[in-house]
Structure 1
Amino acid sequence: MKSFKADYVFPVCADPVKNGIVTVDDFGKIVSVTDDNSPPTQTPIETVSGIIVPGFINTHCHTELSHIKDKISAGGGLINFIKDILSFRSAGPGEILEAAQAADQQMFDNGIVAVGDISNNSITAPIKAKSKLYYHTFIEILGFLPANAEELFNKALATAEEFKPQSTSITAHAPYSVSKELFKLIKQHSETGTNLLSIHNQECEDENKFYRYKLGGFIDLYKHLGVDIGYFRPQARNSLQSIIPLLTNRQKVLLVHNTCTNLKDIYFIKRFDRKVNWCFCPNANIYIEKRLPKIELFINQGFNITLGTDSLASNSKLCILSEMRTIQQHFPSIGIDTLLKWGTINGAQFLGIDDEKGTIEAGKTPGLNLITGMDGFKLTPDTKVKRLV
C-alpha cells in the first residue's frame, strides 16, 4: 500500500478534505480517505503540493483520427472541417495505428482513465484491448440517403462484432448526416439490451438552417459530395428538436458539442422522456468554429453534463484538465467543484462505470491525479496534471 498527502483531496462525492491523505493498495484500489488529524498509518506517506482528484473521464474522442493532427487549419468552420476530414482520413494502417497508440498514451499521461470513443471501423480495436484505459466504443453510422440505411446499419453491426468482447454500442453521427430511416433502425436496435448513444449536436448555425429552411452550407456540402438530397424537406424547427422524437427513451443519450443549442432547444427536450446527457468539448469548438456553447444555459436544468476532448484533428492535445481550464477562462462563475464533477463522476455515470471510477471512495479504483499550479481553487495557465495512480 501507499499513501499520498496533499493540500486538499477532492473526493468529488464529498466535501474537499484539507490536508487529506489517500491510501491505495498495490492495485490502485482506494483503502481510505482521511486527514492529518486521523490516527497515523503504518504506510509511508508521500507528501505532495496541490490537490488530489479522481482520474478523468473523457466521454468524447476519436482516436482513429489522431493521424490528422496539425493537418487541418483552425477556424475554418464545420463545413470545411468535414471536407478536410474526408480528404485526410485515408492513410495506411501503420500510420493510423501509430498515431492512435500515441493518443492512448497521451490520455493516460494526462490522467484520463476512461474514454467514450467514436469509431467508424475496427482498426483501433487491438489498441483498446491492450490499453490501461477503459474504453467504450461508439460504432458511428453516417448515411443521409434512405435507400442505404439497412446496408449501413448491418455494416455497423459487423464492426461491433470485431470489437468483441469490448464494450460497444451503435450510434448515429449527427442529424445532418443520418436519415430518418437510419435513426429508426438505431432506435429499434436500442429498444432491447444496452446501447449507449452519442450524437454530434448543433456544432454550427448551418445545421439549424438546414433543418429549418433547407438552406446553408450543408446544401453545398452534399453537392460537393455528389449526394442528391432532393427527398429531404425542411422541418421548420432546429435539428435537435427534429431528431429527439426519433431517439429511444430506453438508453442514455450523449449530445456532444451543442455549440448552437439554445434555451428553446433545452426546454423542448424537457417535454420528452429521453435520458439526455450533454458533453462539452470547448477546445474543439474554438478550433473548428471559433466559438463556444452557452454553457451557463445548461446548468441547473436537471441534466447530466460531461466533458470530452474530441479528436487531435480538432485539438492540440487530449487533456480534460485543458478543457476545464478553457471553460473556467470563459465562464469564471463555474467553479472547480462543478468542473470536477463534469470531468469525473458525471462521465463515469454516463458510461455506466461509476461503481469503479469517478470518485475517491474506499473500494473503488478511480485513479488519482495531482493538480498543481492553481490560484486557490482557480485554474490558471500554469495549472498542470500529474498522474499519481
Structure 2
Amino acid sequence: MKSFKADYVFPVYADPIKNGIVTVDDAGKIISVTDNPSAAGVKPGDIENLNGIICPGFVNTHCHLELSHLKDKIAQGNGLVNFVKEIITIRRNGEVEADAIAAAEKADQEMYDNGIVAVGDIANTDVSLAIKAKSKLYYHTFVEVLGFLPDKANEIFDNALQLLQKFKPAPASITPHAPYSVSKELFKLIKKHSDANNNLISMHNQECEDENKFYRYKLGNFNELYEFLGVDISHFKPQARNSIQSIIPLLTSNQDILLVHNTCTNLKDIYFIKRFDRNIHWCFCPNANLYIEKRLPKINLFLDQGFNITLGTDSLASNTRLCILNEMRTIQQKFPAITLEKLVQWGTLNGAEFLGIAGEIGSLQAGKTPGLNLISGLDGFKITPDTKVKRLI
C-alpha cells in the first residue's frame, strides 16, 4: 500500500478534503480517501506528506495523436481555413510515416507524464494503431469522416468502416469531422450507423466565424478552401442558420455527442440545441483556439445550462503542449470566476462520463483506479504560471 497526504484532496464526486489522505494498493486501486490516518489503516510515519492538491488523473477528451509530427510547423494566428490548408499542403507533399509514428509515441508519453489517464483521439489513418495497443493510457478512437460531395458519401463511409475494424476491439467509433466538411448524405449514413450501434460521437463545432457565415449566407473563407481543394460546392445552399443549428437534426439521439471547440457558439445556438432530444456534451480546447484563431469561446455562456463540460488539448499541430492543467490555466486566466474545483471536474470526471469509463476513473472513490495527480504551486485555489502537475501513480 501507498498513502499520500496533501493540503487538500479533491475526490471530485464530493467536497474537497482538507489534509486529506489517499491510500492505494500496488495496482493503483483506491483503498480509502479520508482525513483520518487511523481510518486509512496506516501509521502516520508511512504516509507521504505533500504540498498541494491531490486529484484524479486527467481525461483529455479531444486530441489528434497522428498530427503530433506537425508541432511548430504551422504558423499561429492565421485562422482555421489557413490552418486546414497548411495541413493539406503538408500531406500532399508526402509524410514520412516513421516520423509520424515517432512523434505520436513521444506525444503519448508526454500525456502520461502530464497526468493524463484517458484520451478521446481523432484518427484519419491507422498511424496510431500500434501506439495505442501498447500505451499506458486508455484510448477511445474516433474514426473521422470528411466529405462534402453527396455522391462520395457511400464510398467515404465504407472506407471509415474498414478503418474502424482495424481499431476494434479497442474502443472506437465513427464520427463526422465538422459541419462544413460533411455532406447531408454522409451525416445520414453516420446517423443510421449510430442509431443501430454503440457509436460515440465527437465533432468539431464552430471553430471560427467563417463556419457560421458559410452556413448562413454561403460567404467567407470556406468558399476559398473548397476552391483550393478543387471541390464543386454548387449543391450547397445557404441555410440561413448557424452551422450547429443546421445540422443538429442530422445527429443521432441514440448516442452521447461531444461538440468540440465551440469558439463561435452563441447563446442562441445553446438554446436552439436545448430544443432537441440530443445527448450533447461540450469540450473546450482553449490553447488551440488561441493558436489558430487568437480567440477563446465564451465559456461563461455554457455554465449552469445543464450540459456536461469536458476539456481537450487538440493536437501538437495547434498547441505547444498536451497538458490538461495548461488548458485549465488558460481558462482561469480569462474566466477567473470559474473555480479550480469546477475545472478539475471538467478535466476528470466529466470526461470519464462522456467516454463511458466513470466506473473506473475520474473520481477518487474506493475500488476505482483513476490515477493520482499532485497539483502544486497554487495561490490558494488559483492556478499560477508556477502551477505544475506531477503524476503520483
TM-score by length of 1: 0.99
CA distance in 2, matches of 1:50, 1:260: 35
The residue number in structure 2 matching 1:343 is: 347
CA distance in 2, matches of 1:168, 1:40: 38
The answer as to 2:259 corresponding to 1:255 is yes
The answer as to 2:79 corresponding to 1:62 is no
CA distance in 2, matches of 1:97, 1:202: 30
Match of 1:50 among 43, 49, 52: 52
Kindly tell me: are residues 3 and 91 of structure 1, through their superposed partners in 2, closer, same or farther at Cα, counting changes over 3 Å?
A: same
CA distance in 1, matches of 2:387, 2:150: 49
Kindly tell me: are residues 39 and 304 of structure 1, through their superposed partners in 2, closer, same or farther at Cα, counting changes over 3 Å?
A: closer
Moved more, 39-48 or 152-161: 39-48
Shift of 1:329: 0.1
CA distance in 1, matches of 2:183, 2:18: 53
Shift of 1:123: 1.4
Kindly tell me: are residues 39 and 195 of structure 1, through their superposed partners in 2, closer, same or farther at Cα, counting changes over 3 Å?
A: closer
SS of 1:76's equivalent in the other structure is coil
Shift of 1:40: 6.3
The residue number in structure 1 matching 2:315 is: 311
Match of 2:96 among 92, 95, 120: 92
Shift of 1:45: 1.1
Percentage of matched positions with identical amino acids: 70
Q: Deviations along 1:190-239, whole A, 9 cap, x unmatched?
A: 01221000000000000000000000000011011111101110000000
Shift of 1:162: 0.8
CA distance in 1, matches of 2:39, 2:234: 73
CA distance in 1, matches of 2:66, 2:323: 17
The residue number in structure 2 matching 1:296 is: 300
The residue number in structure 2 matching 1:71 is: 73
The residue number in structure 2 matching 1:378 is: 382
Shift of 1:354: 0.1
The residue number in structure 1 matching 2:224 is: 220
- For these two proteins, the number of residue pairs brought into alignment is 389
CA distance in 1, matches of 2:193, 2:331: 36
CA contact (8 A) 2:30 2:369 kept: yes
Q: Which amino acid aligns with 2:300?
A: E
The answer as to 2:32 corresponding to 1:28 is no
CA distance in 1, matches of 2:168, 2:79: 36
Q: Which amino acid aligns with 2:17?
A: V
CA distance in 2, matches of 1:230, 1:270: 32
CA distance in 1, matches of 2:131, 2:76: 28
CA distance in 2, matches of 1:338, 1:109: 23
The residue number in structure 1 matching 2:330 is: 326
Kindly tell me: are residues 40 and 243 of structure 1, through their superposed partners in 2, closer, same or farther at Cα, counting changes over 3 Å?
A: closer
CA distance in 1, matches of 2:346, 2:51: 24
Shift of 1:34: 1.1
Q: Deviations along 1:161-197, whole A, 9 cap, x unmatched?
A: 1112211000000000000000000000001221000
Shift of 1:92: 1.2
SS of 2:196's equivalent in the other structure is coil
Q: Deviations along 1:25-68, whole A, 9 cap, x unmatched?
A: 01100000111464463362111111100000000000000000
* Residues 199-278 of structure 1 aligned to structure 2 (within 5 Å): 199-278=203-282
The residue number in structure 2 matching 1:13 is: 13
TM-score by length of 2: 0.98
* Structure 2 gap ranges (5+): none
CA distance in 1, matches of 2:386, 2:379: 9
